[in-house]
Structure 1
Amino acid sequence: MLEQAMAGAAQLLVWPAIGFLFLGIMIGIVFGVIPGLSGLNGMAILLPFTFTMETVPALCFLLGMYAVTSTADTISSVLLGIPGTAASQATVLDGHPMAKRGEAERAFGAAFTVSAIGGVIGAIAVVLSIPILQPIIMAFSSPEFFMLGVVGLTMVGSLSGGSITKGIAAAALGTLIACVGYGEQVAIPRYWFDVLYLIDGLPLMPVVLGLFAIPELLDLMKGGGGISNVAAAPGKGSGLMQGMRDAFREWWLTLRCSLLGVYIGMLPGLGAGIADWIAYGHAVQTTRKDPKFGTGDVRGVIAPEAANNAVKGGGLVPTIAFGIPGSPPMALLLGGFLIQGVAPGPAMLTTNLSLTFSLIWTLVIANVVAAGLLFFLSKYISRLIFIPTLLLVPAVTVFTLMGSWMSTFQLGDWIALFGAGALGIAMKRAAWPRPPLILGFIIAPILENALHISRQSYGYAWLGRPIVLILLAVAVLTILLSVRKTMRQTARDRAAPLAEARQMTIAEQAGSARFGVVFAAFMVVVFGFALWGARDWPSTLAAFPVAMAAPGLLCVVLAGIADWKRRDLDDGRSDPFPVRVMGEFVVWMAGIVLVTMAVGQMIALPLFTLAFLLIKARAKPVIALAYTAGVTLLLWGIFDQVIHVTWYRSWLL
């Protein structure tokens, strides 16, 4: 095996293979940093370029690009609170609060260090785990996949935010939103309200960007300084080194989450978008020493970043060994295999073993090089947190709108974005956690398909399968531990002086208890409508939304009762979004949409940038013109010439 490993390295470290690998790394960093440009998009764009390439350069070019997106996406997640890709959603929870405290460098140092470690562990896992874990992978069928998804939902729902009922209800709401459009098994549309855009379901990026980016845009539009709440940057390089020390101090957490990411990557259909949430939930559940998750705990950055990079190695295992892609990008990589005439399967472990090792070396080199490059650049990138927030609004707006637009190239993408944004604002105002909703939305198709096959194949006997029972016990234990933790926290709050308890409650909820009651009442209507709408559907179509809506409705009622009891603690000062700011935001966004409909995005977005900088940010004309020129170049160079975006067909042009 050592001889084959050296042969694989020799194939990679010669020209042009090594050149294409580094080109893929640079492209992957760009696709990771810009929200909406994911590894999947990168694979789809680069795949046609590999038709005329040799086998090793082609596959290493694709895999090198994909491997580093989960490292680069940390930048927008930490600085802007916007996930660069689906793999960095959990990083936002603690990474962005760290940036607000002036600790962006520390978050970057920890994230890039564990990203390299997780990527290397994932590569090593490919070598060691294929013969060992094949029986385990084969033991997972539809019942186990369904219950694994339930474990992920309960873990994230229970451990994100201060209310278990709100977390689980948010997860259930995410699964119901995913039910919009045609069912997984029956070609009958659900909850589509006779709107043609909804008949195929809501795309992921408008929902993700709406829930996370729109509330952050409102925060940026408040003005009043930079993203950070501190006045000056930390000492030169100190934050980066502190983050690196954090990563090595939490070596056991890094190792556990990396191995967790490897295993989740091996399970087909899950991927980094789920692994980071499960790793984050694992970190919260297993941390006993001074947990401050959700407020800027560096362990909340370490856990998901280690897992989402290790997923890449884990996902490579079923792809090369069994021809079963572990995730959608791996499916495109499998397409690259077929283009090159390489057949995945036992041959990749025997006659083509050197090619397999070339891919393993690609994972190692790509993760280490990308982490090192970003580590060097991050001390300059992190200074963005001290730039006045109003100057960041145009760039964030352009990335958010274009990231959403690339879903289907329809105006409905923007409407879905703003609809999800309104929901995200309401959830933040009512102190409902948003991460469980996203996980529920992502995992719903997997859950529904697994539930359908389980019912058809096993009846109700699948509930008694050993692995299903073990996973069910894990889900129940997660909820019980969360309940115990919440009860202990409540007891500590009651033991504190009244004024201190009052202040703590308001700070933790970050929203209005009275608005929480109103929002809970609205959610009762939503879940009730979901149950009522499913009454006439075939059982195959109705089983999943009913299974999600029923417990969701119960949790909503309990959450509303809890907020009603806390309404007296609401002092009216906890509104994170003043009416004036929301009004201005609506006017600016409506202007972008109307101008786009008239003359298209290539004119509307630069025009918005120039007008916002001059009118709202009061920037100097030379800065506003240079900024606008940069936005125009980005739209033309990246989105038009490279990605070949289908622009809106405007009235005048």
Structure 2
Amino acid sequence: MLEQAIAGAAQLLVWPAVGFLFLGIMIGIVFGVIPGLSGLNGMAILLPFTFTMDTVPALCFLLGMYAVTSTADTISSVLLGIPGTAASQATVLDGHPMAKNGEAERAFGAAFTVSAIGGVIGAIAVVLSIPILQPIIMAFSSPEFFMLGVVGLTMVGSLSGGSITKGIAAATLGTLIACVGYGEQVAIPRYWFDVLYLIDGLPLMPIVLGIFAIPELLELMKGGKGIAKVSAVQGRRSGLIEGARDALRHWWLTLRCSLLGVYIGMLPGLGAGIADWVAYGHAVQTTRKDPQFGKGDIRGVIAPEAANNAVKGGGLVPTIAFGIPGSPPMALLLGGFLIQGVAPGPSMLTTNLSLTFSLIWTLVIANVVAAGLLFVLSKYISRLIFIPALLLVPAVTVFTLMGAWMSTFQIGDWIALFAAGALGIAMKRSAWPRPPLILGFIIAPILENALHISVQSYGISWLSRPIVLLLLAIAVVTVALSMRKSMIRAARDRTEPVLEKQHLTLAEQAGSARFGVVFSIIMTAGFAFALWDARDWPTTLAAFPVAMALPGLICAIMAGISDLRRRHLDAGRSDSFPLITLVEFVLWLAGIVLLTMAFGQVIALPVFTLIFLLLKVRAKPVVAVGYTASVALLLWGVFDQVINVTWYQSWFL
């Protein structure tokens, strides 16, 4: 095996393979930093370029690009509170509050360090785990996948601060949103309201960007000196070095979450978007010493970042060994295998073992190089948090709108983005956690398929399978521990009735109990409608949404009752919700849409940038023109020439 490992390194570290590897790393950093692009989009865009390439350069080019997106996406998650990719959603919970506390560099130092460690551990796992874990992987069938998804939902629901009912209701709401469009098993559309755009379901990115980015844009619209609420933390040690030392100090958490990410990556179809939540939940559940999760706890950055990079190595195991993609990007990597005439399976462990080691070396080199590059550059990037907040609005708006637009290239993508944004603002206002909704949306198709196959294949007896019972016990324990913490917190709040003492994120502490009652009523009506609308559907079509809507309905009612009892906490508190800013924000977005319909995005977005900078920011003309030119160059150079975006067919152009 050592000879094959050396042969794999020799195949990679020669020209042009090493050149394509580093090119892939640079492209992956860009795709990770810009919200909405992601490794999946990068794979899809780069795959056609590999037709004329040799096998090792082609596969290492693709894998090198994909491997680093979960490292680079930390930048937007920490600085802007917007997940760069689905793999960095949990990082937002503590990374962005750290940026607001002036500790962005520390968050970067910890994240990049554990990303490199997690990526290397994932690569090592490919070598060690295939013969060991094959029986375990093969023991997971549909019942186990369904119950694993339930564990994920309950674990994320438990991160909902003072209310597990809000967390579970949000998670089930996400699964119901994912049910829009044709059913997984029966070609009958659900919840589509005769809108053609909805018949194929809602794309992921408009929902993710709407739930996270739009509320953060509203915060930026309020103005102020910068994202950070305090000045940069001063001291003899660099924040980056301090973050790296944090990662090494919490080495046991890093190792556990890396191994957790490896294992989740080995389970086909799950991927980094789930691993980071499970790792974050694990960190929350196992931390006893001074937990500050949601307020800027460095462990809340370390756990998901270690896991989401280790997933890449874990996902490679079923991909190369069994031909079963560990995640959607791995499915596209399989496409690269087919283009190159390489058959995944036993041959990758025998005759093509050197190629397998080339891929393993790619993971190691890509993660270490990307972490090193970002370690050097992030010190300068992190200064963005101290520039005026309004100056960031045009750039974040462009990235958000274009990230959503790339889903289907229809105006419906923007409508879905704005609808999800309204929901995100309402959830933030009422202190409903947003992350469980996104996890529910992502995992819903896996859950529905697994539930259908389980019932069809095993009837009710699937509930008695040993691994299913073990996972069910984990879910029950997770809920029980969360309820215990909630009761302890409620008892403390009765003696110290201060809303801010709940373990909510800084952004969500503005939630109003009174508004929460109204929102819970609206959500209760929504869940009731979901149940009512499913009454005449075939059992196969209705089983999953009914199974999700029923607990959602119960939890929404309980959340409303809880907020009703807590409404006295709002007494004497000034309502700081920026209603005027919201109206102004809506008008700006409406103006962008109208300009786009008239002239297209290539003109509308730069014009918006120029007008906003001159009228709202009061920027100097030279700054406004330079900023606008940069936006125009980005739209033309990246989105038009490189990504080949299909632009809106405007009225006049």
User: TM-score band, normalised by the shorter chain?
Assistant: over 0.9
Deviations 1:522-552 (A, max 9, x none): 0111000000000000000000000000011
Following superposition of structure 1 onto structure 2, how do residues 555-570 of structure 1 map, counting pairs within 5 Å?
A: 555-570=555-570
* Cα 1:16–1:593 shift into 2, 3 Å: same
Deviations 1:59-94 (A, max 9, x none): 100000000000000000000000000000000010
Map of 2:478 onto structure 1: 478
Any stretches of 5+ residues in structure 1 without a counterpart?
A: none
**Kept in 2: contact 1:511–1:575 (CA 8 A):** no
Map of 2:78 onto structure 1: 78
Q: Does 1:255 align with 2:255?
A: yes
Q: Which moved more, 1:235-244 or 1:14-23?
A: 235-244
**Kept in 2: contact 1:34–1:399 (CA 8 A):** yes
* Cα 1:380–1:530 shift into 2, 3 Å: same
Instruction: Return the letter of the residue paired with 1:116.
Output: A
Map of 1:327 onto structure 2: 327
Q: What secondary structure, in the 3-state scheme, does the structure 2 residue paired with 1:84 have?
A: coil
Give me the whole-angstrom Cα distance separating, in 2, the residues matched to 1:302 and 1:348.
33
Map of 2:45 onto structure 1: 45
Give me the whole-angstrom Cα distance separating, in 2, the residues matched to 1:462 and 1:476.
18
**Kept in 1: contact 2:500–2:509 (CA 8 A):** no
Give me the whole-angstrom Cα distance separating, in 2, the residues matched to 1:217 and 1:189.
33
Q: Does 1:196 align with 2:196?
A: yes
* Cα 1:568–1:123 shift into 2, 3 Å: same
Instruction: Return the letter of the residue paired with 2:119.
Output: G
Give me the whole-angstrom Cα distance separating, in 2, the residues matched to 1:492 and 1:458.
47
Deviations 1:144-191 (A, max 9, x none): 000000000000011232210000000000000000000000000000
**Kept in 2: contact 1:77–1:88 (CA 8 A):** yes
Q: 1:504 aligns with which of 501, 505, 508?
A: 501
Following superposition of structure 1 onto structure 2, how do residues 398-413 of structure 1 map, counting pairs within 5 Å?
A: 398-413=398-413
Instruction: Return the letter of the residue paired with 1:48.
Output: P
Give me the whole-angstrom Cα distance separating, in 1, the residues matched to 2:341 and 2:98.
47
**TM superposition outliers: structure 1 runs of 4+ over 4 Å:** 505-509, 572-576
**C-alpha displacement of 1:11:** 0.6
* Cα 1:575–1:279 shift into 2, 3 Å: farther
Deviations 1:466-488 (A, max 9, x none): 00000000000000001111112
Give me the whole-angstrom Cα distance separating, in 2, the residues matched to 1:316 and 1:231.
43
Map of 1:351 onto structure 2: 351
* Cα 1:227–1:509 shift into 2, 3 Å: closer
**C-alpha displacement of 1:435:** 0.3
Identity of aligned residues (%): 85
Map of 1:220 onto structure 2: 220
Following superposition of structure 1 onto structure 2, how do residues 238-253 of structure 1 map, counting pairs within 5 Å?
A: 238-253=238-253
Give me the whole-angstrom Cα distance separating, in 1, the residues matched to 2:232 and 2:306.
30
* Cα 1:520–1:572 shift into 2, 3 Å: farther
Give me the whole-angstrom Cα distance separating, in 1, the residues matched to 2:571 and 2:226.
27
Give me the whole-angstrom Cα distance separating, in 2, the residues matched to 1:305 and 1:135.
28
Give me the whole-angstrom Cα distance separating, in 1, the residues matched to 2:107 and 2:69.
17
* Cα 1:291–1:636 shift into 2, 3 Å: same
Give me the whole-angstrom Cα distance separating, in 1, the residues matched to 2:442 and 2:160.
17
Following superposition of structure 1 onto structure 2, how do residues 329-478 of structure 1 map, counting pairs within 5 Å?
A: 329-478=329-478
Give me the whole-angstrom Cα distance separating, in 1, the residues matched to 2:336 and 2:133.
25
Give me the whole-angstrom Cα distance separating, in 1, the residues matched to 2:444 and 2:520.
22
**Kept in 2: contact 1:257–1:303 (CA 8 A):** yes
Give me the whole-angstrom Cα distance separating, in 2, the residues matched to 1:402 and 1:162.
35
**C-alpha displacement of 1:118:** 0.2
Give me the whole-angstrom Cα distance separating, in 1, the residues matched to 2:127 and 2:50.
26
Map of 1:159 onto structure 2: 159
Following superposition of structure 1 onto structure 2, how do residues 114-133 of structure 1 map, counting pairs within 5 Å?
A: 114-133=114-133
**C-alpha displacement of 1:492:** 2.6
Give me the whole-angstrom Cα distance separating, in 2, the residues matched to 1:541 and 1:236.
61
**C-alpha displacement of 1:130:** 0.1
**Kept in 2: contact 1:159–1:285 (CA 8 A):** no
TM-score normalised to structure 2 length:
0.98
Q: Does 1:634 align with 2:630?
A: no
**C-alpha displacement of 1:235:** 4.9
Give me the whole-angstrom Cα distance separating, in 1, the residues matched to 2:613 and 2:284.
41
Q: What secondary structure, in the 3-state scheme, does the structure 2 residue paired with 1:3 have?
A: helix
**C-alpha displacement of 1:15:** 0.7
**Kept in 2: contact 1:511–1:576 (CA 8 A):** no
TM-score normalised to structure 1 length:
0.98
Following superposition of structure 1 onto structure 2, how do residues 266-281 of structure 1 map, counting pairs within 5 Å?
A: 266-281=266-281
* Cα 1:502–1:4 shift into 2, 3 Å: closer
**Kept in 2: contact 1:429–1:576 (CA 8 A):** no
Map of 1:29 onto structure 2: 29
Q: Does 1:110 align with 2:107?
A: no
Q: What secondary structure, in the 3-state scheme, does the structure 2 residue paired with 1:116 have?
A: helix
Q: Does 1:4 align with 2:4?
A: yes
Map of 2:69 onto structure 1: 69
Deviations 1:499-523 (A, max 9, x none): xx46636988431101000000001
Instruction: Return the letter of the residue paired with 2:479.
Output: I
**C-alpha displacement of 1:236:** 7.8
* Cα 1:50–1:526 shift into 2, 3 Å: same
Give me the whole-angstrom Cα distance separating, in 1, the residues matched to 2:173 and 2:294.
21
Q: What secondary structure, in the 3-state scheme, does the structure 1 residue paired with 2:158 have?
A: helix
Give me the whole-angstrom Cα distance separating, in 1, the residues matched to 2:38 and 2:499.
43
**C-alpha displacement of 1:491:** 2.3
**C-alpha displacement of 1:573:** 4.2
Give me the whole-angstrom Cα distance separating, in 2, the residues matched to 1:142 and 1:214.
36
Deviations 1:251-307 (A, max 9, x none): 011001000000000000000011101111111011111111111111010000000
Deviations 1:326-374 (A, max 9, x none): 1110011001011111111001001110000000000000000000000
Instruction: Return the letter of the residue paired with 2:544.
Output: F
**C-alpha displacement of 1:232:** 4.1
Instruction: Return the letter of the residue paired with 2:437.
Output: L
Q: What secondary structure, in the 3-state scheme, does the structure 2 residue paired with 1:372 have?
A: helix
Instruction: Return the letter of the residue paired with 1:320.
Output: I
* Cα 1:236–1:377 shift into 2, 3 Å: farther
**Kept in 1: contact 2:499–2:509 (CA 8 A):** no
Give me the whole-angstrom Cα distance separating, in 1, the residues matched to 2:572 and 2:65.
48
* Cα 1:628–1:25 shift into 2, 3 Å: same
**Kept in 2: contact 1:175–1:444 (CA 8 A):** yes
* Cα 1:405–1:132 shift into 2, 3 Å: same
**Kept in 2: contact 1:219–1:577 (CA 8 A):** no
